[in-house]
């Protein structure tokens, strides 16, 4: 009986695999997934898992869990919600059929996702408005948020942020005490110690045209800057784009409310 049931399960899995459209899976993977996981399921970064040669059932289960939110990952939740059941079956079948990781692969989209129109905003301390501060205790960071005049004016007027808008963030490590615990200031925010890097998002006409639709945030681009005001090498906008993708009703911002209340 167990043997018969086992054969039925295997037959069911095999049947499902054959029902999947490998070419459609490859097309979807090349258009979106490749930006992070590589065109053949071999990821573009050590921090991103390889998908090549994973079992079809496992890949389908994870994508379904990411789609319904039972598995939490801000980047992948945003992508998976845009996949149909057919897309999930096709993508899972495609990646499962790929050989396991041997060497790094690069996505054809990676050059577009690494390229950004955002430049460092010299003099932002005097020309931008500081509108928000956020503690990140888990990483022992505190972040200061700034918006330029175009962004602040639109937010205050309840309008969609226009081309020319820019949001800029200083990321600082937090001071720690003798017990190596982050120090909290009297204002309720962690006390900044050392500037680590900057992040930014800005938009202008046509800036999003080279991104696949499932990642595109209108014409927003993102950037990470080192402390010497240079673009961080190899930064992949795919993660930012995917994370902000569900926020299309609020100009793709997590902090639109705070921006509108800027003084």
- In the chain, % of residues over pLDDT 70: 88
Does domain 114-260 bear CATH number 3.30.1390.10? no
CA distance 88 to 238: 19
Start and end residues for every CATH 3.50.70.20 domain found in the chain: 114-260
Reported as a single tens digit per residue, the pLDDT across 222-249 is: 999 999 999 998 788 988 999 999 999 9
Tokens of 223: 């950037």
Beta strands in the chain (DSSP E): 129-136, 141-147, 166-174, 192-203, 220-225
pLDDT value at residue 100: 76
> Contact 113/211 with Cβ under 8 angstroms?
yes
> Contact 51/59 with Cβ under 8 angstroms?
yes
More confident: 40 or 261: 261
Reported as a single tens digit per residue, the pLDDT across 126-178 is: 999 999 999 999 899 999 999 999 999 999 999 999 999 999 999 999 999 99
Does domain 2-107 bear CATH number 1.10.760.10? yes
DSSP state at residue 33: I
Tokens of 6: 């086992």
pTM exceeds 0.85 for this model: no
Would the pLDDT of 13 be above 70? Answer: no
pLDDT band for position 1 (50/70/90)?
very low
Start and end residues for every CATH 1.10.760.10 domain found in the chain: 2-107
CA distance 50 to 108: 17
């Amino acid at each position: 009986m167990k043997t018969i049931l086992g054969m039925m399960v295997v037959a069911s899995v095999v049947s499902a695999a054959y029902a999947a459209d490998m070419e459609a899976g490859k097309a979807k993977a090349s258009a979106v997934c490749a930006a992070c996981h590589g065109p053949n399921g071999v990821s573009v970064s050590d921090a991103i898992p390889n998908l090549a040669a994973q079992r079809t059932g496992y890949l389908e289960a994870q994508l379904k869990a990411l789609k319904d939110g039972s598995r939490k990952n801000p980047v992948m939740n945003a992508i998976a919600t845009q996949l149909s059941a057919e897309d999930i079956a096709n993508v899972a079948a495609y990646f499962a059929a790929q050989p396991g990781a041997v060497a790094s692969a690069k996505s054809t989209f990676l050059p577009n996702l690494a390229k950004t129109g955002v430049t460092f905003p010299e003099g932002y301390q005097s020309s931008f408005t500081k509108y928000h501060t956020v503690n990140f205790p888990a990483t022992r960071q505190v972040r200061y948020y700034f918006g330029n005049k175009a962004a602040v004016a639109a937010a205050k007027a309840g309008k969609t942020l226009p081309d020319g808008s820019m949001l800029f963030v200083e990321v600082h490590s937090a001071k720690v005490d003798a017990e190596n615990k982050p120090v909290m200031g009297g204002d309720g925010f962690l006390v900044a110690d050392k500037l680590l890097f900057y992040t930014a998002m800005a938009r202008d006409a046509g800036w999003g045209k080279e991104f696949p639709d499932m990642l595109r945030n209108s014409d927003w681009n993102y950037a990470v800057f080192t402390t010497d005001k240079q673009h961080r090498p190899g930064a992949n906008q795919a993660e930012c784009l995917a994370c902000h993708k569900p926020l299309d009703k609020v100009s793709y911002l997590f902090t639109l409310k705070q921006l509108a209340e800027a003084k």
